[in-house]
Homo-oligomer: A and B are copies of this chain.
Amino acid sequence: MTPSLIDLPHPDRDELRLTDVLFALSDPERLAIVRQLSDGPLEMALCHLSDPSMPKSTKSHLMKVLREAGIIRNEPYGRGRRLSIRHEDLEARFPGLIASVLHAAKAPDADGPGEMEGL
């Protein structure tokens, strides 16, 4: 009866909410994930986080927020999972949004390594 883990629920294109998308992207770790995926689909195991010691349940939760916002697709792939950005759906609903976010994300944003701000 439970939808079985193999197929996770993804929101339909028409159900995407701008505020949910923006919220999902507003976390540095999640934004970094999306940036990695911008080069193309990636196996989840190969998608690395800023902190390699982060528990897998936390990583899974980050992916869940991105998936439920409609930003990424998460499908079974061999023994693991394959992640990809839902470019077409995002572009159809929010034209130019992801492109501008990804473009801006490449600039230093205090997320990456920078100078100390103490002096």
Q: Tell me the A residues contacting B by CB distance below 8 Å.
A: 17-20, 22-23, 25-28, 31, 93-97, 99-101, 103-105, 107, 109-111
Other-chain residue from B22, B97, B103, B111 in contact with A26 (beta carbon distance below 8 A): B22
Q: How far is it, in angstroms, between the C-alpha of A22 and the C-alpha of B111 when the chains are bound?
A: 14
Other-chain residue from B20, B94, B110 in contact with A100 (beta carbon distance below 8 A): B94
Closest CB in chain B relative to A54 CB, distance in Å: 18
Q: A22-B25, A25-B22 are in contact. Are A93 and B107 (CB under 8 A)?
A: yes
Q: Which residue of B lies closest to A105 (CB)?
A: B18
Closest CB in chain B relative to A98 CB, distance in Å: 9
Please indicate the chain B residues that have their CB under 8 angstroms from the CB of A27 in the complex: 19
